[in-house]
Amino acid sequence: MFSKLEQKVTLGGLSESTLINYGRCIAKISLHFNTPAVELEEEQINGYLFDLMKGESPSKSYFKHTVYGLRYLFRIYDRADKAIKLPSLKRETPLPVVLSTNECRQLFNTSKMLKHRILLCLIYSAGLRLKEVRFLQQRDIDFDRMQIHIRKTKYRKERYVPLSPLMAKGLKKYYEAYKPKVYVFNGKKMDSPLSARGVQWPMREAVKTSGIAKPACVHTLRHSYATHLLEYGMDIDTVKSLLGHAHLSTTIVYLHVARIPRTEKFSPFDRLYEGLQG
C-alpha cells in the first residue's frame, strides 16, 4: 500500500515531507485497527478521528494529515465514496510573524559564530526556505552576475534572486574561513548538506539570546524578507516572483502585515492636467 502511495505522491509532484506525513498517519490508523486503512469501515474512521479531536493534546496538523492522507489514499484506490464522507477541513490562515528591521539587526548581531551569522543573513537576504538554504550549492552563487540560483524549491520551480553586495562580501569571508565543499553550508560530512536541525538550532539560539519575544523560527526570516520588500516599495508581483510562489494569493497575505504608507484619497482627474500650462 505504501509503495503505491509513494509512487502516486512522487508522480504527482508532492514533496517528500507530504509523503512522510501521509504515510505515518495512514500507518498509525492501520496499526490501530490491525487492518489496511483502505479497508476500514466508515464507523471505524469516524471513531478514530473523533478520538484524535478529543484527545488530551489534540494536534491540528496530525488530524489534518490524517484526513488528507486518507482522502488521497481512497482516491488512489478509486474509493471516492469514502473520501466524500471524510470531514471537510477549514483552512486557517494566521498572519505570518514578521521581525522589524531593528529586530533583524539584533538577531544577526547576536550570532557569534561566523557560519551561523552568514547562514541567517543569507536566508533573510534572499528570502530562502529552509530546504532551499540547506541544498544551496556554491555553483548556485554567481558573484559575477550578482544573483543566486535556487534549485531545490517547494514547487520544483527554479528561480533567481539578487545577491546582495553586502551579502557577497560576507559569503567570501565565510568561504575563506570555512572552505566549504559542494554545498554552501556543509553538514557533518564535507560533501553533505546541512541538516534541518543544523539550520533551526542557530536560529532558535539567536532568538533566545537576542531577547526577541516573538515566536520566530527560520521561516520568519522569509516572512520578514517579503514584508520588508513591500515596505521598501517593491510591487507585489515582483515579490511573488522572488519568493517563488505559484499563486499571487499566497503573496497577498504580506500586504496585511506590511506597514505601507497610505496616500490621501484623490481623483485621477485631479492629476490629469498637472504641470500643463494654460
Catalytic residue among 129, 134, 228, 240: 129
Domain ranges of the chain: 2-85, 101-256
- Kindly report the CATH number that applies to the domain delimited by 101-256: 1.10.443.10
In which residue are the cell numbers 554545498 written? 183
Question: Mean pLDDT for each consecutive 10-residue tract of the chain (278 residues)?
Answer: 69 74 88 89 86 70 84 80 66 83 94 94 96 95 96 81 95 96 90 92 96 94 95 93 89 87 72 68
Catalytic residue among 116, 134, 222, 223: 222
Catalytic residue among 28, 131, 204, 219: 219
Signed CA dihedral, 35, 36, 42, 48: sign only:
positive
**Could you say which architecture CATH assigns to the domain 2-85?**
Orthogonal Bundle (1.10)
Q: How many Cβ atoms sit within 10 Å of the Cβ of residue 77?
A: 16
Q: Taking the CA atoms of the chain, what radius of gyration do you get in angstroms? A: 23
- Helix, strand or coil, per DSSP, at residue 3: helix
Annotated catalytic residue 219: yes
pTM above 0.85, yes or no: no
Catalytic residue among 154, 159, 178, 204: 154
Annotated catalytic residue 232: no
Annotated catalytic residue 222: yes
Give the model's pLDDT for residue 188.
Answer: 86
Cα–Cα distance, 184 to 100 (Å, whole number): 27
Annotated catalytic residue 214: no
Give the model's pLDDT for residue 18.
Answer: 82
Cα–Cα distance, 201 to 207 (Å, whole number): 10
